[in-house]
Amino acid sequence: MPDRKKQPPFQKSINFQLKLPEAIHRPGKAPLFILHGGEQEIIRVEFVFCAGKWFETTPGLSHFSSTLLTKGTSGLSGNEIASLLEELGYHVETGTSPDYTYLAVSGLRKNFKPAIEIIRSCLTDPVFPEHELQQQKHIYIQQLSVNRERTSYLASRLFRQHIFGKDHPYAAEADETRVSQLTREEIAAYYARHYGDFTVFLTGKTDDVIRESISDLIERLNWQAHAKPEHRISPGNIRKVSQSKPKAVQASVRIGKITISRSHPDFPQLVLANYVLGGYFGSRLMKVIREEKGLTYGIYSGIQSQKNATVFSVSADVNLNQAEAVIEEILNQLKDLRTHAVQLRELELAKSHFIGNLQNEMSNIFAHMERFKTIHLFDLPHNYYSQLIQKIDSAKSEDIMGVMEKHLHEDEMIIALAG
């Protein structure tokens, strides 16, 4: 019997074994990745299309094309599609990101064949119904109106526009005028032009019937890789930008810059530096600005990696009259990490927290596929996450100072303030 009065010894592990899927590449067909396993009788299949904001000629096309993808075919209405999938025990979701759009469906493995047949009709015969488009326009405009009352939304938009340029796809916004002018024909043309370049990810307790069904679907879809457009970053020429919000009592702060990508050799040390600074509840920014100075309820820093750019940013919502004090303290903390060595205890705590969280996330087969999907879409090596953990575990205080000096110098930060 273990002595429950004694704390068990701490056991540190840097092990990370990512389950890799079977890769099926056939000439002229979409790549298919199958990860078999799991205890539940659940199957998930995701179609990821190279059709995100990066490919838009005008803002809004990726959002509305993905949203309307399951809203009607020539033989089924949107309500009929939703009802049939629900009867089969399936859930469908669509979405968009700066680089991709996706359609994912998950549910009972025993009903996979009829469910995937419904999805086939959505992918090969979408009609983008006019009444559904009008409804989605109304929802979008209403949400946009709500967002523009939030200083956090305004600060994030201002920050993106200033570091990329207003017309860059990572910053451009579909406003009310553009949305109201959007036509069904534009959406259908965008779908025809961009949704032929896609990858399929299948996860769960697969069998021969499921494999045959997904292979048959891929055979019936026209796959064609298309050229990726180029977009020039046009940052603003001043360091600090602000937007006033009349009668606001709260302000939102965004501080950051474009930085190195996941493939850069310094990226693991950058991840650790960010984690020490503001990546978790025990970080520097939380301790100093929230707990010691009481200037905000929450503050964090993060690294957002897109296919064509990576952005480091610090985010905080504060009282309007304390915004400048918060900005000054954030810059002080960035400078301190650049000029002073992190104490060993603080460094080891951040390492353990980051590595432990990453390991704990891998609790099921679907989490493994999510990590592999990142590896595939970002053209990373298969051992990327194990190497990331090893490099973070071996990082020293001087490595933190080095990446801060090279990649996150406080004098290079863009500051956006709304409130």
Per-residue pLDDT, 308: 95
Per-residue pLDDT, 115: 97
E-state strands within 191-332: 198-204, 240-243, 250-259, 296-305, 310-319
| Residue % of the chain over a pLDDT of 70 | 97
Per-residue pLDDT, 295: 86
pLDDT at 7 over 60: no
pLDDT band of 4, cuts 50, 70, 90: low
CB 42 within 8 Å of CB 181: no
Structure tokens at 283: 């970080």
Average pLDDT over all residues of the chain = 94
pLDDT tens figures, 128-180: 999 999 999 999 999 999 999 999 999 999 999 999 999 999 999 999 999 99
pLDDT band of 306, cuts 50, 70, 90: very high
CB 96 within 8 Å of CB 53: yes
Average pLDDT, integer, range 16-43: 94
| Residue % of the chain over a pLDDT of 90 | 88
Query: What does the alpha-carbon distance between residue 389 and residue 306 come to, in Å, rounded to a whole number?
Result: 21
pLDDT tens figures, 94-120: 999 999 999 999 999 999 999 999 999
Per-residue pLDDT, 6: 64
Phi, psi (deg, nearest 5) at residue 246: -55, 140
Query: What does the alpha-carbon distance between residue 319 and residue 248 come to, in Å, rounded to a whole number?
Result: 9
Average pLDDT, integer, range 239-262: 93
Q: What is the DSSP letter of 39?
A: S
Q: Quick one: how many helices (H) and strands (E) in the chain?
A: 15, 11
Per-residue pLDDT, 1: 56
pLDDT band of 357, cuts 50, 70, 90: very high
pTM: 0.92
Per-residue pLDDT, 15: 84
Tell me the DSSP string of 71-124: SBBSS-BHHHHHHHHHHTTEEEEEEE-SS-EEEEEEEEGGGHHHHHHHHHHHHH
Amino acid (one-letter) located at 21? P
CB 206 within 8 Å of CB 34: yes
Per-residue pLDDT, 13: 78
Average pLDDT, integer, range 391-410: 97
Residue 33 host element (H or E): strand 32-36
pLDDT at 228 over 60: yes
Cross-sheet strand order for the sheet of 250-259? 240-243, 414-418, 250-259, 310-319, 296-305
pLDDT at 9 over 60: no
If we measure between CA atoms, which residue out of 199, 217, 204 comes closest to residue 110? 204
Per-residue pLDDT, 372: 98
pLDDT at 413 over 90: yes
pLDDT band of 5, cuts 50, 70, 90: low
Per-residue pLDDT, 186: 97
Per-residue pLDDT, 267: 98
Query: What does the alpha-carbon distance between residue 413 and residue 238 come to, in Å, rounded to a whole number?
Result: 11
Per-residue pLDDT, 298: 85
